[in-house]
Structure 1
C-alpha cells in the first residue's frame, strides 16, 4: 500500500499501532491533536489535525488508500464534548475518505455500542445497537454512517467493536481483554483482507470467557492468540464480590452501563497508561 492514515496516533492504542502500520505502507500519515508524538518510524509523517475540523481532516487524508480511524474522546463525557471529535469527526473522516477516493475505513468502534446487553447473552455481530452512554451512542452513529457510505458510496468499512484493550486489572477483563498483539493482528486483517464490504467484528482475544461471537466475521481471518484465563485466579481472588443487580457487573459495557450519562466510565477501571514510547 502506498499511503495509509492513522487517526488517534497519540493515544494509547494508537501508540501500539504506529510501528506495525508503518511497515504495511510506503507512507504512514499519523494524526492527532497533540503537538508531537515523539520519534517517527521510517516512512511515518505526523500531521496535527482536529477531527472536528473538516478542512484539517480533508488535508490529512489526501492520497490515502485506507484510513485507520482511532481518534476520539475515549471515555464517556457530556454530549457537547462527544459531539465534535466522536460524531462530527466520524462524518469528516468518511466524507474526506470519499472525496479522496479511499477504498476502506478501519474503525475503532466499541462494545459500548451494544453495552446494555446482559453479559450472560452471548451476542453476535448482528445484534441491534444498544448503547450504554453518549460515547457508545457515537459509536452507533459511526457504524451506521459506515454502513451508509458503503451502500451509497462504495466505501468499505471494518468496524471493530473493541471490548477492553488494556492490562487485565479487573474481573470483567478476564472475558473482555484484547491484547496489543491481537489488536495489531485484528487491524492488519482488517487492512489486508481483499474484500470486506461493511463488516463488524469484536475486538477481543481468545479468552475462555469471551462473551461475544465473531463467527460471522471469520472471513477476515482474525484468529486471536492470547487468553486472559492466565490472569483469572489472581484477579478473581482479589476482586470484590459482584452484584448481579448492578448493570456495571451484569452488562457487556461494564462500568459504562452503570454510570450516569456524561460521567466517566473509565474512572474506576484501573486502566494502566502503558502507551508505547518512541
Structure 2
C-alpha cells in the first residue's frame, strides 16, 4: 500500500497505531490539530489538520489508499462542542475520501452507539442503535454515514465499535477491555481484508466476560489474543457491591449510560494516560 492516513494521531489510541501502520505502507500521513507530534517513525509524515474543515481533509487525504479515522472529541460534552469534530468531521472524512477516490474508511466507532442496551443482552453487530450520549449519537451518525456512502457511492468502511481500550481498572473492563495489541490487530485486519463493504465489528479482546457477539464480523479474520481475566482477582477484590439500579453498571455504555447529557463521562472513569512515547 502506498499511502495511509491516520487521524487522531496525537491521541492515546493513535499513539499505539502510528508505528504498525507506518510499517504497512510506503507513507503514513498522521494528522491531528496539534502543532506537531514529536519524533516520527520511518515512513511517517505529519500534517496538521482540522476535522471540521473539508479543505483540510481534502488536503491530507490526497493520494491516499485508505484512512484510519480515530480523530474526535473523545468524551461526552454539549452537542455544540461535538458538532464540529465528531459530526461534521465524520462527514468531511467520508466526503473527502469519496472525492479523493479512497477504497475504504476504517473508523474508530464505539460501544456508546449502542450503550443503552442492558448488559444482560448479549448484543451482536446488527443490534439497533441506542446511543447513551451525544458522543454515542455521533458514532451512530458516522456508522449510518458509512452505510449510506457504501450503498450510494461504493466507498467501503469498517466500523470498529470499541468497548474500552485502556488499562483494566474496574469490574466493567473485565468484559469490555480491548488491549492495545488487539486494537492493532483489529485495525490491520480492517485494512488488509480484501472486501468489506459496510461492516461493523466490536473492538474487544478475547475476554471470558465479553458482553457482545462478534461472530458476524469473523470474516475480517480478527482473532483477539488477550484476556482481561488475568486481572479479575485483583479487580473484584477491590470492588464493592454494585448498585443494580445504576445504569452505569447495568448498560453496555457503562458510566456514559448514567451521566446527564452534555456532562463528561470520562471524568467518572479512572483512565490511565499511558500514551505511547517514542
| Length-normalised TM-score, structure 1 | 0.99
Query: Counterparts in 2 of 1:1-278, with a 5 A limit?
Result: 1-278=1-278
> Per the alignment, in what secondary structure is the counterpart of residue 268 of structure 2?
coil
Structure 2 CA distance, aligned partners of 1:70 and 1:184?
Answer: 13
Structure 2 CA distance, aligned partners of 1:177 and 1:255?
Answer: 15
List runs of 5+ in structure 1 lacking aligned partners: none
Superposed CA offset, 1:38-82 (max 9, x none): 100111000000000111111010011100000000110100000
How far 1:240 moved relative to its partner? 2.2
Structure 2 CA distance, aligned partners of 1:12 and 1:104?
Answer: 23
Superposed CA offset, 1:77-129 (max 9, x none): 10000000000000000000000000100000000000000011100000010
How far 1:266 moved relative to its partner? 1.1
Is 1:158–1:199's contact at 8 Å kept on the other side of the alignment? yes
Superposed CA offset, 1:15-56 (max 9, x none): 000000000000000000011111001110000000001111
Structure 2 CA distance, aligned partners of 1:46 and 1:77?
Answer: 28
Coordinate RMSD, CA, aligned: 0.5
Is 1:177–1:228's contact at 8 Å kept on the other side of the alignment? yes
> Per the alignment, in what secondary structure is the counterpart of residue 45 of structure 2?
strand
How far 1:262 moved relative to its partner? 0.5
Structure 1 CA distance, aligned partners of 2:264 and 2:240?
Answer: 21
| Length-normalised TM-score, structure 2 | 0.99
Structure 2 CA distance, aligned partners of 1:198 and 1:26?
Answer: 26
Structure 2 CA distance, aligned partners of 1:161 and 1:240?
Answer: 29
List runs of 5+ in structure 2 lacking aligned partners: none
Superposed CA offset, 1:120-147 (max 9, x none): 1100000010000000000000000000
